[in-house]
Amino acid sequence: MRKIGLVFLLLFCTGSLIAQLKSPDEFLGYSLGSRYTVHHRIVEYFQQAAAAMPRQVKLERYGQTYEGRELLIAIVASSVNMQRIEEIRKNNLRLTGLLTDKPADPAAPAIVWLSYNVHGNEPSSSEVSMKTLYALLDPSNAQAPEWLKNTVVIIDPCINPDGRDRYVNWFNQVVGNRPDANPDGREHSEPWPGGRSNHYNFDLNRDWAWQTQLESRQRIRIYNNWMPQIHCDFHEQYPNSPYYFAPAAEPFHEVITPWQREFQTTIGKNHARYFDANGWLYFTREYFDLFYPAYGDTYPTYSGAIGMTYEQAGHNVGGLTYLKSDGDTLTLKDRIAHHFTTSMSTVEITSANAAKVISGFKRFFDDALTRGSGEYRSYVVTSNDPDKLNALKSLLTSNDIRFGNYFQAGAKGYNYFTGKEESISLETHSIVINSLQPRSALIQVLFEPRSKLSDSATYDITAWSLPYAYGLKSYAVRSSLPASATVALPVSPTTTAGYGYLLKYQSFSDAVLLARLLQNGFKVRFAESEFSLQNKNYSRGTLIILRSGNERIFGSLPGLLTQYHASADAVESGFTQSGFDFGSDKVHLIRKPRVALLTGNSVSSTAAGEVWHLFDQLLDFPVTLINAEELGGVNWKNIDVLILPDGNYKMLTEKDGASDLKTWVRQGGRIIAMENAAAQLAAGEWGFKLKKTEEDTTTKKPYVNLRKYASRERDGIVNNVPGAIYKMELDNTHPLAFGYPDFYFTLKQQENLYEFMKDGWNVGVLKKDDLVSGFVGSKARDRIKDGTGIGVVNLGNGSVTFFADNPVFRAFWENGKLMLCNAVFLVGQ
């Protein structure tokens, strides 16, 4: 009897300990808003809450960042719903049609997903995540249990822990005992590259659809396993701005349904009640639109949810306290209060309308399955290169977009490459994507040949269609086409060669293999011209690996090819049937380049990050990162290729700095300059010049300077190039364009072009108005023609390769990656 009593007492005490839910202030030892909380302490707070309330909270670790920080979500539900949480999740997928094991139950809880701190230096929202979690679990909060009867809340406390800790650790190091509200104080001036982005300086709020980053891939996987009805993305904007919440600004993409538009407004009005009661300023329907598909509001919207951005003043300059221009002081506690209010208001209004929310959500997917989205019912993508097609397949799979093999030629469709309605001409490998599937809206957004904007004043790029971004021949078809089951084709084994091997060079995957071959010590050559051997034709750029010079490692090549899912043709002679023999000076040895990338204060952090990520994560090829301001002290003998991403380089305006750089190039160095870096070089004596534009004069148009005050925010649109796709003519006989047809789709974000060069190579040119998709201001459009966008200038023994546009933009512009690799590995060899 005493033992039974002891066990009962132990269980009672254990239960009491478990029930000790702590507030954030109690757990952290300081009040929220008095300092910034590092990421691991936020994780620990969520862990203690889950341990204290296991019947209402479930933590799910969904991955880790590049720097090893934990990524997790907290699922919050009533104790009744938590017992069947997996069934709730599956039922939600049944509502979408993504899971078809049995009919969906429409009397299901609505799911609200709250995503905090995607931009690391917009840090108030991760503090809010702890307060929101506590408020939903706090036994003294009588409202939360009622909401959780028909609503499940999922909280991601920090989407970007690496960026957050970069900012928070810096701020905690520079702030004093008394935070300084003076905007000129150093605590309001964050150093390069800032905490906005992730480890590789990518903006994770531009990556939802593309999933180029580790954090995005892991997050979207778990997001798509839930498919919530409501998604809120918490941000910060400049410190003098009022709060922003939905409804969003135009342009809305046409796939957004009336229900989605309507319920955004319902949510916004609920927020307004609380903000009005507190006397807080806010604005709606301005600036933040719903168009570009890779945002934290648009991607969920195109996935059937009510996706929204919430913007609080503060940003990377807010610190703990900030003196605003109106004389008021903005504190971190203010910022927390505002974001907390919209967090709880979102849950409240969703709970009050749960049945409507589920009904509208289900209707979105019912329409997708029965009617499809947009004017096209099928998209056929075809290529002779399986690697290029596989890159697209990978993206489709990660977005739950279904596709199948396609074999039936003869149907007609819109040819993306020619811009005409034509009979479909299939290449060796083809797939078809039918729009009658759950992801129909997202398919339309990602594949529509031409963007349709309801308002040209948009927040981001206006064109991204995947056939152009991937450089894949595609057709948009108005009828549904049959798909066959996808079967992975086996890679032909490479037979043993006595003399050498020939490898195709047509895709970025081939460049990745080339990088590995050079890393492993292989001497690799490439053919400058087409040739034929053993009754087979080979393209320019074909890689040649001979036994001669590779004797020690020659036998390892077949195994390496198998590792990279590649194959090669074994040859027993270098005597070609047509073209140049392998000993010709038209066959070039590729010397492994020592590559450096400029970073630091003069450089766009995102542009530098895109190149760094390509080398470090995709090519797995060494690159040395050098601060641009320290270039004067480098040993030039250790660098073969210097990459200048977009930036504003002080050293290019200094006589000595530019002179040293030019001397290095004349001695054999190779520069690759992109965007404004190219424009800065063009302003000097580097062999190419920025194309001059003819400006209207007041003599010809005397009233040109008369403007309406009310139109002042839209006046600049005529000169705007927010991001549009142009079709360039390409000289694919030049090594820079090996692996390409005689055209290339470039994403232009400014109007820069360069004068046609007499003594250089005009590799990519625009001869006329070759706009394919997206918005360009009327005046800018008149100027974007008759110029070079991609070129190579020889200077002494070295060269300068320049790109007017970014060939690896946000790492989703897949078709430009090979060209950047060509600039590194082939040009100047």
> DSSP per residue over 382-447, as a string?
EES-HHHHHHHHHHHHHTT---EE------EEEETTTTEEEE----SEEEEEESSSTTHHHHHHHH
Amino acid at 673: A
Question: Which of the four pLDDT bands, split at 50, 70 and 90, describes residue 795?
Answer: very high
User: Nearest Cα to 647, choosing from 616, 685, 609, 621?
Assistant: 609
Residue 318, token pair as written in the block: 């807010």
- Residue 292: φ, ψ to 5°: -55, 130
Report pLDDT for 457.
78
- Across the range 465-472, mean pLDDT stands at 98
Q: Find the radius of gyration of the CA atoms of the chain.
A: 29
User: Nearest Cα to 598, choosing from 625, 568, 564?
Assistant: 625
Report pLDDT for 695.
56
Amino acid at 606: T
- H or E element at residue 313: strand 306-313
CB 303 within 8 A of CB 113: no
Residue 386 has pLDDT above 70, yes or no: yes
What does each C-alpha distance from 147 to 110, 135, 707 come to in angstroms? 10, 12, 52
Question: Which of the four pLDDT bands, split at 50, 70 and 90, describes residue 487?
Answer: low
- Burial group, residue 42, by CB count within 10 angstroms (0-12, 13-18, 19+): buried
C-alpha count within 13 angstroms, C-beta hemisphere, residue 709: 0
Question: Which of the four pLDDT bands, split at 50, 70 and 90, describes residue 427?
Answer: very high
Residue 2 has pLDDT above 50, yes or no: no
Report pLDDT for 547.
97
Q: Is the peptide bond before 193 cis (omega within 30 degrees of 0)?
A: yes
Q: Find the range with the poorest average confidence among 10-24, 90-104, 254-268.
A: 10-24
Report pLDDT for 657.
75
DSSP reduced 3-state for 323: strand
322 forms bridges with which residues in the sheet? 330
d(CA 488, CA 208): 27
The DSSP code sequence of 750-783 is S---BPPPSSSEEEEEE-S--EEES---HHHHHH
The DSSP code sequence of 542-565 is -EEEESTT-TTTGGGHHHHHHHTT
Report pLDDT for 8.
40
pLDDT tens, residue by residue, 126-179: 999 999 999 999 999 999 999 999 999 999 999 999 999 999 999 999 999 999
d(CA 380, CA 375): 15
Residue 610 has pLDDT above 50, yes or no: yes
User: Nearest Cα to 294, choosing from 143, 532, 466?
Assistant: 466
User: Nearest Cα to 213, choosing from 98, 350, 65?
Assistant: 65
Supply angle C-alpha 789, 822, 528, rounded to 5.
105
Residue 813, token pair as written in the block: 């512009």
pLDDT tens, residue by residue, 572-609: 999 999 999 999 999 999 999 999 999 999 999 999 99
First CA to last CA distance, the chain: 89
Q: Indicate the pairing of strand 743-748 with strand 670-674.
A: unpaired
Report pLDDT for 489.
63
Residue 707 has pLDDT above 80, yes or no: no
- Across the range 752-778, mean pLDDT stands at 95
d(CA 540, CA 531): 8
For CA atoms 595, 598, 604, 606, give the dihedral sign: positive
Question: Which of the four pLDDT bands, split at 50, 70 and 90, describes residue 715?
Answer: confident
- Percent of the chain past pLDDT 70, that is, above it, reads 95
Helices 354-370/85-96 angle, 10° precision: 40
Report pLDDT for 667.
97
- Across the range 352-380, mean pLDDT stands at 98
**DSSP label of 288:** -
Report pLDDT for 180.
97
d(CA 314, CA 332): 8
Report pLDDT for 497.
82
- Across the range 37-54, mean pLDDT stands at 98
Q: What is the pTM of this model?
A: 0.95
Question: Which of the four pLDDT bands, split at 50, 70 and 90, describes residue 694?
Answer: low
- Across the range 346-357, mean pLDDT stands at 98
Residue ranges of alpha helices (H) inside 62-186 are: 79-83, 85-96, 124-137, 143-147, 161-174
User: Nearest Cα to 430, choosing from 456, 454, 408?
Assistant: 408
The DSSP code sequence of 109-123 is -EEEEEE--SSTT-T
- Percent of the chain past pLDDT 90, that is, above it, reads 89
Report pLDDT for 195.
97
Number of separate helices (H) and strands (E) present in the chain: 23, 35
- Across the range 730-747, mean pLDDT stands at 98
Question: Which of the four pLDDT bands, split at 50, 70 and 90, describes residue 303?
Answer: very high
What does each C-alpha distance from 282 to 240, 245, 333, 418, 794 come to in angstroms? 12, 8, 17, 47, 56
Report pLDDT for 486.
72
| Residues in Cβ contact with 433 at an 8 Å cutoff, skipping those fewer than 6 apart | 378, 379, 381, 396, 401, 402, 403, 443, 447
pLDDT tens, residue by residue, 174-230: 999 999 999 999 999 999 999 999 999 999 999 999 999 999 999 999 999 999 999
d(CA 362, CA 346): 20
- Mean pLDDT (the chain, rounded): 94
Report pLDDT for 437.
98
- Across the range 772-792, mean pLDDT stands at 95
Buried b (16+ CB within 10 A) or exposed e, 644-671: bbbbebebbeeeebbebbbebbeeebbb
Report pLDDT for 6.
42
Supply angle C-alpha 498, 589, 472, rounded to 5.
90
Helices 508-519/817-825 angle, 10° precision: 30
DSSP reduced 3-state for 456: coil
- Across the range 492-497, mean pLDDT stands at 76
d(CA 571, CA 468): 36
Report pLDDT for 15.
42
